[in-house]
Amino acid sequence: MEVPILKQGAVLIATFQAALSDADLNQLRMGLVQQVVKFRSRAVIVDVTAMDVMDSFASRTLREIAHMIRLRGADTVIVGIQPEVAFAMVQLGLTLEGVATALDLEEGLAYLNEKFKTTN
């Protein structure tokens, strides 16, 4: 399953589907980092609104994406985690520590704009 990556100015937006397999996630991880390099993006927003399960593998992949992108000097924001998914994640001890989160795409963009303002 292909994960669509949208380029919006200096920001890349990747939208996850509900039924992503491990292989899809691995592919996305490589794809995103390559695109950040290619477009010299300043930030990536990963939208997980459609994901109804976030297990340890998905959560670990998100953290790895964020860390790799940070090594390229860009930011990552995870947006759209559903309340029930968040509850299950903390039960599993998955807290995405050190990764920025926001309620939805709109909030994620607002967060980045604020950040760009202060670093410009």
Partner 1 sequence: MSVGEIQVAIKSDQDIVSARQKGRLMASEMGFSSGDATLIATAISELARNIVSYAHKGQITLKMVNGTNRQGISVIATDNGPGIPDIRQALRDGFSTSGSLGLGLPGVRRLMDEFEITSQPGRGTTVAVKKWRQ
Partner 2 sequence: MIVAKRNETSRETMTLNNQAPELARSEAPSELLRELVAHLRQNRTQLREEWVVRISETRLLTAMTKEEIFAEATSIYDSYVEALETEAFEALQAYARNLSERIIPRGVETHEVVGIVLLLRDVLARSLFAKYQNDFKKLNRILDAYEPAANRIANTVAVGFVQERERVIRQQQEAIRELSTPVLQVRERLLILPIIGVIDPQRARQLTEQLLRGIRTNRAKVVVIDITGVAAMDVTVANHLVQTVEASRLLGATVIVTGLSPEIAQTLVTIGVDLGKMNTVGDLQGGIEQAERVLGYKVATLAEPEPR
Neighbouring residues of 49: CB distance < 8 A, sequence distance ≥ 6: 15, 16, 79, 80, 82, 104, 105
Token code pair at residue 56: 């340890």
Asked whether the beta carbons of 76 and 69 are under 8 A apart, the reply is yes
Asked whether the beta carbons of 75 and 43 are under 8 A apart, the reply is yes
**Residues 83-102 contacting partner 2, CB under 8 A:** 83-84, 86-87, 89-91, 95-96, 101-102
> Of these, 3, 68, 88, 105, which contacts partner 1 (CB under 8 A)?
88
Using rule CB under 8 A, residue 57 touches partner 2: no
Closest to partner 1 by CB, 84 vs 114, is 84
**Which of partner 1, partner 2, none sits in contact with 16, Cβ below 5 to 8 A by type?**
none
Closest to partner 1 by CB, 26 vs 113, is 26
Neighbouring residues of 17: CB distance < 8 A, sequence distance ≥ 6: 1, 3, 50, 51
**Which of partner 2, partner 1, none sits in contact with 57, Cβ below 5 to 8 A by type?**
partner 1
Asked whether the beta carbons of 95 and 54 are under 8 A apart, the reply is no
Using rule CB under 8 A, residue 63 touches partner 1: yes
Residues that bind partner 1 (CB under 8 A): 19-23, 52-57, 59-60, 63, 82, 84-85, 87-89, 91-94, 97
